[in-house]
Amino acid sequence: PLHILVCNAAVCTQPWNLTEDGLETTFQICHLGHFYLVELLQDVLRHSAPARVVVVSSESHRFTDLVDSCGKVELNLLSPPQKEYWSMLAYNRAKLCNILFSNELHRRMSPHGVTCNALHPGNMMYTSIHRSWWLMTL
């Protein structure tokens, strides 16, 4: 049985790069990896109910341009061309995708005894992730 699955993989401030699938690396690591893992484990989670999926997102999801003024998600922004790439924005976009995914997963899986939550782990200024944040260098 699998009663708890925590999706916590992330990278921040990576240089622009495409994976062999042709997708931007930050998006693939921070979001698609979680999505794919959960997709592979959905049946196991259902059979293990009660079960829980926890998706570690970030408060930075609020600072993105992924959703337009009409509430439509601009999917083309998830793997932008190199000239339009900003690493922090790529991270923020992926973290918003985490939350949207968590909400939809909960809607689909809760009738089967699987709950899903997204969380912000808090500000981690005393871990090595902070060295990539430009404001900390001021």
What is the set of active-site residues?
Answer: 91
User: Using CA atoms, how far apart are residues 37 and 8, in angstroms rounded to an integer?
Assistant: 11
Helix 33-47, helix 87-109: angle, nearest 10: 20
User: Using CA atoms, how far apart are residues 95 and 100, in angstroms rounded to an integer?
Assistant: 9
Residues counted in the chain: 138
User: Using CA atoms, how far apart are residues 49 and 58, in angstroms rounded to an integer?
Assistant: 27
